[in-house]
């Protein structure tokens, strides 16, 4: 079924023959690690001309179609995978717009800036090109073997009262019922 949906979405076009989706991929093609099974089965990225229209309070004011030309009308599902990051401070080079780095590079870069060795199992390296060469010369990137997460938090460290308090707070925020 997933393959049929992937093929269908991948070939979906508008009335002019333009493809609606730039890409449609299986979760296994995009993600890695122990939580891959919790990701969506498929991830579809709209072509920049299109947006997905989900139910909204004022849907009657918009097109009744599932897909429509992209306009900033409160669509959801139109997130841009190219995000933005800003690096500032004494260690940062004044570069303006710079080459892209994946979000996985942020954590090791922050660890390095805090003078904390970077675990070797990080998916991406420190964003060295955004740092001043003299800073890197004085503070070379240091790495350590991967952390053993089970040693950091012994089992049973939260009480049932703590769990109930966190659950109540998340419920009040609308994260679950």
pLDDT at 6: 95
Kindly tell me the number of DSSP H helices and DSSP E strands found in the chain.
Answer: 6, 6
> Is there a contact between 122 and 103 (Cβ–Cβ < 8 Å)?
no
Boundaries of every domain in the chain: 2-69, 82-147
- Which candidate, 37, 12, 34, places its Cα nearest to that of 22? 12
pLDDT at 152: 61
The neighbour count for residue 117, using CB atoms within 10 Å, is 13
Mean pLDDT of 163-174: 83
The neighbour count for residue 20, using CB atoms within 10 Å, is 20
Q: What is the pTM of this model?
A: 0.55
pLDDT one-digit tens code per residue, 7-58: 999 999 988 899 989 999 999 998 888 889 999 999 998 887 777 655 544 5
- Which candidate, 110, 161, 152, 159, places its Cα nearest to that of 131? 110
Distance CA 51, CA 47 (A): 8
Q: Which of 49-58, 130-139, 157-166 has the least mean pLDDT?
A: 49-58
């Amino acid at each position: 079924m997933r393959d049929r949906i992937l093929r269908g979405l991948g070939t979906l076009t508008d009335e002019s023959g333009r493809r609606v989706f730039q890409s449609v991929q299986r979760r296994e093609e995009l993600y890695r690690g122990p939580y891959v099974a919790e990701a969506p089965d498929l991830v579809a990225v709209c072509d920049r001309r299109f947006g997905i229209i989900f139910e909204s309070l004022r849907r009657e004011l918009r097109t009744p179609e599932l897909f429509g030309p992209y306009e900033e009308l409160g669509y959801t599902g139109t997130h841009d995978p190219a995000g933005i990051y800003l690096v500032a401070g004494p260690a940062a080079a004044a570069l303006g717009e710079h080459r892209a780095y994946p979000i996985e590079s942020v954590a090791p870069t922050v660890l390095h800036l805090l003078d904390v060795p970077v675990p070797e199992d990080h998916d991406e390296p420190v964003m060295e090109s955004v740092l001043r060469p003299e800073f890197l010369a004085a503070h070379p990137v240091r790495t350590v073997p991967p952390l053993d997460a089970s040693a950091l938090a012994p089992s049973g460290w939260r009480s049932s009262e703590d769990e109930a308090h966190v659950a109540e707070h998340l419920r009040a925020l609308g994260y679950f019922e």
